[in-house]
Amino acid sequence: MVAYGFKKFFAPQIVDLSKTHTIRGHRRRHAHVGEPVQLFTGMRTRHCVKIIPDPTCIAVAPIVIMSSELVSDGIAYIEIDGRPLHRDEIEPFAISDGFDPARLVGLAPPSLIGETASETMGRFWRSEHNGNRFEGVIIKWCGGEQ
């Protein structure tokens, strides 16, 4: 079983099941399809809390994200499992990844919140990752209802 840690501001969206995936960099072991995953905030601290009962991994696929301050949305390109997202698909994807600005007000740092979900996602990616190009995996789950 694999555990993933999240910023606290993502927890409400994981609880209400509007966020059912995570994007992670390459590491030795990620969840496998059919395996339960553990989702926490505050991992490796005394404030560690399990967000929901362990959901089941339903998909793992490669993802490439390119962010840029030169585009108004902040996210220049997303490719999932070799398929580039169309420009019109990036905003809904950013919302599904937990970056809807309306859902983050009062939870996330104000400097992170943009006008759109893709702008907010771009700000987050640039603050959390070195460089403008990220390669990793998207891990999707289902279940975990409370």
Is residue 146 scored above 80 in pLDDT?
no
Backbone phi and psi for residue 32, each to the nearest 5 degrees, phi listed first = -110, 150
pLDDT in tens, 81-135: 999 999 999 999 999 999 999 999 999 999 999 999 999 999 998 888 887 899 9
pLDDT, tens only, 15-54: 999 999 999 999 999 999 999 999 999 999 999 999 999 9
What proportion of the chain, given as a percentage, has pLDDT over 90? 84
Kindly tell me the sign of the dihedral angle through the C-alpha atoms of 29, 32, 37, 41: positive
Res. 73 pLDDT band, cuts 50 70 90: confident
Average model confidence (pLDDT) across the chain: 93
| DSSP assignment of 71-83 | STTSEEEEEETTE
